[in-house]
Amino acid sequence: MNPSSALLRAQLRCHPATPVGVALSLSVELRAHGEALRLRYTLSGDTAALRIPAPAAPTPTDGLWQHTCFEAFVAATGEAAYREFNFSPSSQWAAYRFSAERERDSAAEAREPALPMPPPLIDTTPRALTLTARVPVTALPRSPSVLHIGLSAVIEERDGRLSYWALHHPGERPDFHHPDGRALRLASPLN
């Protein structure tokens, strides 16, 4: 997709190795908006058949990906380092730094333990769940030009089965950390 600061819309697909057992669709709207990157995930369909995390205190929390969770992976052009953001319908969130594929940047996380993030906003209806997250520009990788973004989600059904959704699945197994999964291009809000 071409770099742009306009509103971008993307449809996520379920990975064929983890088929979903209910009728669902998942879309994301993304926009560099002021001092933040705004992500709006809309999960539509038989949401009553899903296990949705209960509301909780809006704090940074590890392990959100083990249940229904919406994610974004962001890297600067030409960089191995990237950031991972997780947003739960519980209103909890997580932000991680990686120096390379699946290699946590412990030194950077020790200097700045929690990237400052506002909690996601949740809206539910009987047939849809919408989660809106704002990632401050200060939490994004520093890039003078283009950000490479991977959009993804883990969806849990009531029986505990997990399905893995992404804009692009680069392999035979779900792998949101793979650099080829960051298929969306967005002009850096730092421009």
Could you report the per-residue pLDDT of 52-90, keeping only the tens digit for each? 999 999 999 999 999 999 999 999 998 999 999 999 999
pLDDT score recorded for residue 190: 63
Q: How confident is the model at residue 5 (pLDDT cuts 50, 70, 90)?
A: low
pLDDT score recorded for residue 2: 42
Between CA 96 and CA 176 the distance in angstroms is 13
Q: Which of 23, 58, 57 is nearest to 43 (CA)?
A: 23
Q: Is the pLDDT assigned to residue 4 strictly greater than 60?
A: no
* Token pair of 100 as six digits: 């390379």
pLDDT score recorded for residue 64: 97
Between CA 30 and CA 45 the distance in angstroms is 21
Cβ pair 150, 182 in contact under 8 A: yes
Any residues with CB less than 8 A from the CB of 163 and at least 6 apart, and which?
Answer: 14, 15, 18, 19, 20, 154, 155, 157
Q: What is the DSSP string of 8-52?
A: EEEEEEE-TTS--SS-EEEEEEEEEETTEEEEEEEEEE-GGGB--
**For residues 17-42, average pLDDT:** 92
pLDDT score recorded for residue 117: 74
pLDDT score recorded for residue 191: 57
Between CA 6 and CA 181 the distance in angstroms is 21
pLDDT score recorded for residue 171: 95
- Is this structure's pTM higher than 0.85? yes
Between CA 134 and CA 112 the distance in angstroms is 19
Could you report the per-residue pLDDT of 140-172, keeping only the tens digit for each? 888 767 899 999 999 999 999 999 999 999 999
